[in-house]
Copies of this chain bind each other. A is one copy, B any other.
């Protein structure tokens, strides 16, 4: 039986979800919901209705899982608790500090409606979180390290764009190779912010802007750049569009832990991803967990859950027997 999927929000994440649902043999994309005028939204799937959000309630019995593709700053804190009243939902809420509050809101609403809500699914939070939990469970005595990149940080790129004289900009977060290697070699380094990541900026100036002044403003921006070794390149808009439009990203999660009578044995667990498309990978994770949402709901579960609560087999279309034969 097909799992009927709805998408709310049609930006990069919404488009990535659409591609991933269409690639999944056990799923059907039923409708795409938008705050915009539906006729202004051009989707990839020709026969899938685009519906204004105002009419979403009419779809409550036609959709098994609604995938929320809005932003974490303002959309999801409202939408996830709201739509779990009508649908089983899943989101990629990624404001780490606000997860406990978001969880509580979704849990209350989901328990009232009898639906399942799964939050904070993607790669961090998501796959990176999972790896932290598994590795900490296995090696309770040790150190955790997370590195992000190489990839574009949207927040940092935006911060540069707000500087006077800047026309456009992209900022890459890059893990420092020496730090990665020190962790890999079991040195258990204590790393400052500067020792973990570098920042590389590609900036297009407005006509007549002062490059030195802009560079100085970038490098002295508190929180965003002062604590990092930052490189600034000034390039043409043409070059920016040609070479820096990609959405590649990646990162590393390490656990370095000790065992033994005298803690004489060291073990390193490393999980890393290298992604051509950050949104498409995130939505691929969302889709796998949407499968789990349906299964949990069918079992009679309700409330809010995270990747920590969900058995790995629930992400797969295959039977337990197939999984054991092929992957165990």
Closest to A291 in B: B137
Closest to A252 in B: B270
- B138 touching A134 by the CB < 8 A rule? no
**Extra pairs beyond A267-B275, A309-B312 (13, CB < 8 Å):** A23-B141, A96-B328, A127-B138, A130-B312, A133-B313, A133-B316, A137-B315, A264-B276, A265-B280, A268-B274, A308-B311, A308-B324, A308-B328
- Minimum CB–CB distance for A99 against chain B, Å: 5
Closest to A327 in B: B132
What's the Cα separation between A66 and B58 when bound, in Å? 53
Q: With contacts A100-B321, A324-B99 known, is A284 near B259, CB below 8 A? A: yes
* Residues of B with C-beta under 8 A to A272: 269-270
User: Among B131, B138, B269, B312, which residue has its beta carbon within 8 angstroms of that of A137?
Assistant: B312
CB of A136 within 8 A of chain B? Answer: yes
Q: What are 25 A-B contacts with C-beta separation under 8 Å?
A: A23-B141, A99-B324, A100-B325, A127-B134, A133-B312, A133-B315, A133-B323, A134-B312, A136-B316, A137-B291, A137-B315, A259-B280, A259-B284, A265-B280, A268-B275, A269-B271, A270-B271, A271-B271, A306-B320, A306-B328, A307-B312, A308-B311, A308-B313, A309-B312, A309-B320
- Minimum CB–CB distance for A90 against chain B, Å: 14
A residues with a Cβ closer than 8 A to B are 16, 19-20, 23-24, 44, 96, 99-100, 103, 120, 125, 127, 129-134, 136-141, 184, 186, 259-261, 264-277, 280-281, 284-285, 288, 291, 306-313, 315-316, 320-321, 323-325, 327-328
- B310 touching A311 by the CB < 8 A rule? yes
Q: With contacts A271-B271, A312-B308 known, is A136 near B281, CB below 8 A? A: no
